[in-house]
Amino acid sequence: MFVRIASQSELPPAGEAKEFSQGDQVICVANVNGTIAAMDNVCLHMGGPLGQGLVERNKVVCPWHGWQWDPKTGKAGHSSEVSVAVYPIKIENGDVLVDI
């Protein structure tokens, strides 16, 4: 079920990520060259906040220790066997909706 997490005007600019809360959960929304993606906000390395990181080479980079995550697949840059959850995201009538 899609739920509203933000308005379109709140989305991060290209090359950046941002945190959005939905209930008890925090979602990382990344803008990768104009493509918006949503994933879990918690880095599996040491719990860093992915939504406070940057996008480099199409990956979200954790601000704590530099682990990289593919926002399309959730896979870690160093191992395809490690991944965070990714969520379907869409924009309708100026609202950002995520299927958590």
> Residue 92 CB: number of other CB atoms within 10 A?
10
Those residues with Cβ within 8 angstroms of residue 57's Cβ, 6 or more apart along the chain or in another chain? 68
Q: For residue 99, which amino acid is it?
A: D
Termini Cα distance of the chain: 7
> What is 2-99's CATH topology?
Rieske Iron-sulfur Protein (2.102.10)
Cα separation values, 86 from 47, 90, 93, Å: 16, 13, 23
**pLDDT tens, residue order, the chain (100 aa):** 999 999 999 999 999 999 999 999 999 999 999 999 999 999 999 999 999 999 999 999 999 999 999 999 999 999 999 999 999 999 999 999 999 8
**pTM across the whole model:** 0.95
